[in-house]
Amino acid sequence: MKAVVYKGRLEVAVEEVADARIEEPTDVLVKITSAAICGSDLHMYEGRTAALPGTVLGHEPLGLVEEVGSAVERVKKGDRVVMPFNISCGTCFNCIRGYTAACLNVNPSAHGGAYGYVGMGPFRGGQAEHLRVPFADTNCLKLPGEPRDMFENDFVLLADVFPTGCFAADLAAVEPGMSVAVFGAGPVGLLAAYASALRGADEIYVVDYVPDRLARAEAMGATPIDLSRGDPVEQIIALRRARGTATAKMDGVMSGIEAVGFQAIDWADPSHEEPNRVLEDLIRLVNPTGHIGIVGLYVPEDPGGKNPHAKKGEIQISFGKLWEKGISFGTGQTPVMRYSARLRDLVTSGRARPSQVVTHRLPLDAAPEAYAKLSRREDGYAKVLLDPHM
C-alpha cells in the first residue's frame, strides 16, 4: 500500500510499504478516506524529536471498516469510523478512569500509545491507504453517513484537534462569561477558541502572526492579536482596559490556553525560538486565581534545542509568580475518547462545524509539498487532509 513515510529532517516521501493487515483477533482493517496532517507531525518533520526514519506517519484517521478480526464484536464490515489518535485497551486502570491517553496495555515502552508517533509504540500511521486498528471495539467511533459526505471534514477532526480544543478549554476551566486568551492560531488554537465560544466564554483573544489564521479566529468571533506588533500580553491588557472589562488587580484574563508547543517563536525577535515564551506570557497574563491549559506539545528529548536544557525538555518558567497568583495549570495529551462521541453528536445536529479550520483536501501524493508548506506556516495553509484514494 502507499503511505507517507518520515525520511529525516524536512523530508517525507509517499512510498510503497507492506500492506496493513489484521494481526490480532481484536483488530480491524480500515480503508482510509481522510487522514489529517497535525502540528504534532511537524515537530517530527522538523527533526525536533527522536522519530526514526521509516516511521509511517498519521494519527488522525477516518475511514470504512474493510475487514474484521475474529474476536471483534461491536464493529462490522462497512462501518464508517474515526479513530482517536490515542490507542487504548479500554480495560486498564487508566482507561477505565477515562485517561485513555495513558493506557497501560498498548505500548510496551511507556504509558500511552498512538498511530505513527515517536515514542508512542509500534503502531503505523494512518496517512496511508489502510490502517490496522488494535482493540477495535474500543478504538473505533461509529459515524453516520457516507464517505466524503458533508461531514467528512468535520468527522476527521474528531480524531484529535476538536477534542484537543475542548480539552484545552477544560484544563483552562473556561466557563460562561469568562475571558480567555489562546496562544497559537493553528487548528488546535482555533478549535480551542471555538470550544471556548461553544461554552459561552465572553471575551476570547487569539494570538499568532499568520494573517489567514488570525482572520479565521476573527471569523469565529474572537479578537485577533498579532504578535508581530509587539508584546501580546500588553496588547490584550490594553484592549481589556479600553473595553472597560479590566478591573483593578485583574486586568488580564481568567483562562489561558497554550496551543503552540516547545517551538514557540519569540515575539521580541520572531526569527528566534524561545521555548518558554508562551508559558511566561501566560503566567504574566492570567489573573490571580485563574487557570492555564497547556495542550501544545513539549518533548523530553529535543535534538534541535537551543541549549543543553532545551535539548532535555527542561523549560525555565517563573514558578514563583505562578504560585503567588494561585494559578492552576493542566497539561498533557488529550484523552480523545472522553470527548469524541459527544462532539460527533454536536456535528451531526449541526451545532458545531469544526471543519472551518480545514484549508486543503489533497491526494496522498501531495503530502511532501503539504508538509513543507505547513512547516513554513505558509499563509492560507492551516489544516490539510489527505485522501489516499482520491
Ligand X SMILES: NC(=O)c1ccc[n+]([C@@H]2O[C@H](COP(=O)([O-])OP(=O)(O)OC[C@H]3O[C@@H](n4cnc5c(N)ncnc54)[C@H](O)[C@@H]3O)[C@@H](O)[C@H]2O)c1
* Contact positions vs ligand X (CB under 6 A): 38-40, 42-43, 160-161, 164, 183-189, 207-210, 213, 227, 259-261, 264-265, 267, 277-278, 295-297, 333-334, 377
* Residue 92 interacts with which of Zn ion, ligand X, none, CB < 5 to 8 Å by class: Zn ion
Cβ within 8 Å of residue 282, ≥6 positions away: 181, 183, 256, 258, 292
β-bridge mates for residue 11, sequence order: 8
The minimum distance between CB 297 and ligand X, in angstroms, equals 3
| Contact set for Zn ion, span 343-382 (CB under 5 A) | none
Distance between first and last Cα of the chain: 14
Greatest CA separation for the chain: 65
The minimum distance between CB 212 and Zn ion, in angstroms, equals 20
**Which CB atom, from 136 or from 182, has the smaller least distance to ligand X?**
182
| By CB under 5 A, residue 192 contacts Zn ion | no
The minimum distance between CB 268 and Zn ion, in angstroms, equals 29
The minimum distance between CB 15 and ligand X, in angstroms, equals 24
Q: For strand 86-87 and strand 113-114, is the pairing parallel, antiparallel, or unpaired?
A: antiparallel
The minimum distance between CB 319 and ligand X, in angstroms, equals 20
Helix H segments across the chain? 39-45, 93-96, 136-139, 152-155, 161-171, 187-198, 211-219, 232-243, 277-285, 308-311, 319-325, 337-348, 367-375
Question: How many Å apart are CA 55 and CA 118, to the nearest integer?
Answer: 8
**Which CB atom, from 27 or from 280, has the smaller least distance to ligand X?**
280
Question: Which three cell numbers mark 180?
Answer: 480567555
* Residue 298 interacts with which of ligand X, Zn ion, none, CB < 5 to 8 Å by class: none
**Which CB atom, from 152 or from 160, has the smaller least distance to Zn ion?**
160
* Residue 116 interacts with which of ligand X, Zn ion, none, CB < 5 to 8 Å by class: none
* Residue 103 interacts with which of Zn ion, ligand X, none, CB < 5 to 8 Å by class: Zn ion
Question: How many Å apart are CA 388 and CA 390, to the nearest integer?
Answer: 6
**Which CB atom, from 178 or from 227, has the smaller least distance to ligand X?**
227
**Which CB atom, from 26 or from 127, has the smaller least distance to ligand X?**
127
**Which CB atom, from 27 or from 258, has the smaller least distance to ligand X?**
258
The minimum distance between CB 341 and ligand X, in angstroms, equals 18
| By CB under 5 A, residue 160 contacts Zn ion | yes
**DSSP assignment of 177-202, as one string?**
T-EEEEE--SHHHHHHHHHHHHTT-S
CA angle centred on 11, ends 8 and 12, rounded to 5°: 100
The minimum distance between CB 377 and ligand X, in angstroms, equals 5
The minimum distance between CB 382 and ligand X, in angstroms, equals 7
Alpha-carbon distances of 312 from 52, 108, 138, 278, 279, rounded to whole Å: 18, 22, 34, 18, 17
Please select the residue that binds Zn ion; options are 26, 33, 40, 153, rule is CB under 5 A: 40
Applying CB under 5 A, which part among 31-39, 278-286, 346-354, 381-389 lies near Zn ion? 31-39
**Which CB atom, from 1 or from 297, has the smaller least distance to ligand X?**
297
| Contact set for Zn ion, span 79-108 (CB under 5 A) | 88-89, 92, 95, 103, 105
Q: Which residue has the cell 506588533?
A: 229
SS3 239: helix
Question: Which three cell numbers mark 339?
Answer: 470527548
- Contacts with Zn ion by CB under 5 A: the residue count is 9
The minimum distance between CB 187 and ligand X, in angstroms, equals 4
Question: How many Å apart are CA 209 and CA 260, to the nearest integer?
Answer: 12
**DSSP assignment of 41-63, as one string?**
HHHHHTT-S-PPTTPBP---EEE
**Which CB atom, from 95 or from 246, has the smaller least distance to Zn ion?**
95
**Which CB atom, from 121 or from 187, has the smaller least distance to ligand X?**
187
Alpha-carbon distances of 130 from 167, 385, 388, rounded to whole Å: 28, 15, 9
Residues that bind Zn ion (CB under 5 A): 38, 40, 88-89, 92, 95, 103, 105, 160
